[in-house]
Amino acid sequence: MINLQLLSSGIIFGLSLGSIFFLMTIGLSLCFGLMRIISLDQLLYYSVGAYITFSAGALLGNIWLGVLCGVIVAGLAALAVERIVFRRIYERDLPFTMITSFGVLIGGVGVIKYFWGLVPRPVSEPIAARIDIIGTDIPVYRLVIVAMAVLVYAGIWLFLNRTIIGKAIRAGTEDVEHVEGLGINVYRLFTITFVIAGGLSGLAGGLYAPLIMVDPNMGLDVLAFVFMVVIIGGLGSIKGTLVSSFLVGQVVSIGSLVYAPLAQMAPFAIMLLILLVRPRGLFGSQLLKR
């Protein structure tokens, strides 16, 4: 049977995995919440963040600087895509934005292949130290990831609730026309949200890169998990995204301890169960396309 040590390391592994899932999906969730678009291209910024972390980290000799560069470049890429593509399609219905963003994702994967080639690249772990918790060896880096996710959640909460731009964004999720009526440029809010979302996806990629290899299809590999997290939590709900990403993280981690294939199957089963009871996920809203 599973002993305590294995279990505690499993839980901490699940926590860090959940944190990564949270950072990956928060961009999608933010975009859906305000703009009512399904922005699958967030996974492109995730890969971009990871690749820039790899390259800049190797160039500058410091992974943390690499992650910072990754976040910035991912944000810039998001800005460019928003200006060129999404600016034109905000008014369209959901499936339309989903297909378009999938096109951006696939095209972006092609661009990544063009620049970095097909070979998976390893990224060295920035913190090699390990810490002893209840007799189990835990890499400190995993705890750092959890702390980062908590910081990001707190930061987003503060941004949305304490700053005037954040309040305008929250108002925008309720009623865009009223916000426009107040003389606020909604499209600028959209741009800001999109760039923040892209940067956070880049952060997820940069932080996750040392734990896996970076390869061109990494965005597509996590697609299923991102979808499950978003569906379980409910589209557009930040709290729901947080809860469901930690739930999925734990299920994957502990499931793989019990029986390896469970890691992939169990979240899917949970998703189906939740959809049976609540077709809009745990915290999903009734909001439709405005």
Partner 1 sequence: MSVLRWWWGLLLAFALLAVGRVFLPLPFANEIMIFSLYTMGCNYLLGRVGFISFGQPAYLAVGAYAAAFYLFYVGSNPYVGILVGIAGGMMASLIIGPLFVRLRGDYFALVNLALAVIIFYLMQKVLAPITHGDNGLWFLTNLDSTPVLDLTRPEQFFIFSFLVVFALWAFYKYLDDTIFGACCLATKINEDKLRFLGYSSFTIRLVAFVIANTTTALAGALYAVYLGFVSPEITSPARAADPVVVTILGGVGTLYGPIVGAIVYTGMKDVLSKILGNWELVIGFVLVFIMLAGEKGIWGTLAPWLQKLMLRTAGGATDQAGGGR
Q: Is 287 in the site for partner 1 (CB under 8 A)?
A: no
3-11, 69-77, 87-95, 120-128 -> range binding partner 1 (CB under 8 A): 87-95
Q: Is 100 in the site for partner 1 (CB under 8 A)?
A: yes
Q: Please state the closest distance from residue 30 (CB atom) to partner 1, in A.
A: 16
Asked if residue 4 lies in contact with residue 133, where contact means CB atoms within 8 angstroms, the answer is no
Q: Is 261 in the site for partner 1 (CB under 8 A)?
A: yes
Q: Is 159 in the site for partner 1 (CB under 8 A)?
A: no
Q: Which of 217, 256, 270, 285 binds partner 1 (CB under 8 A)?
A: 217
Q: Is 272 in the site for partner 1 (CB under 8 A)?
A: yes
Pairwise CA distance, residues 75 & 195, whole Å: 5
Distance from chain centroid for Cα 229? 10
71-79, 131-139, 148-156, 228-236 -> range binding partner 1 (CB under 8 A): 228-236
Compute the half-sphere exposure of residue 66: CA atoms within 13 Å on the CB side of its CA. 26
Q: Is 91 in the site for partner 1 (CB under 8 A)?
A: no
Asked if residue 16 lies in contact with residue 145, where contact means CB atoms within 8 angstroms, the answer is yes
Total chain residues near partner 1 (CB under 8 A): 44
Q: Which is nearer to partner 1, 110 or 135 (CB)?
A: 110
Q: Which of 7, 58, 89, 143 binds partner 1 (CB under 8 A)?
A: 89
Q: Please state the closest distance from residue 228 (CB atom) to partner 1, in A.
A: 6
Structure tokens at 272: 């189906």
Interaction with partner 1 in 107-126: which residues (CB under 8 A)?
107-111, 113-114
Q: Is 221 in the site for partner 1 (CB under 8 A)?
A: yes
Distance from chain centroid for Cα 234? 14
Find tokens 């996974």 and name the residue.
43
Interaction with partner 1 in 20-79: which residues (CB under 8 A)?
38
Structure tokens at 209: 């890169």
Q: Is 95 in the site for partner 1 (CB under 8 A)?
A: yes
Q: Which is nearer to partner 1, 35 or 68 (CB)?
A: 35
Q: Which is nearer to partner 1, 145 or 232 (CB)?
A: 232
Q: Which is nearer to partner 1, 118 or 164 (CB)?
A: 118
Distance from chain centroid for Cα 134? 30
Note the residues at the interface with partner 1 (CB under 8 A).
38, 85, 88-89, 94-96, 98-100, 102-111, 113-114, 217, 220-221, 223-224, 227-228, 230-231, 235, 260-261, 264-265, 268, 271-272, 275-276, 279-281
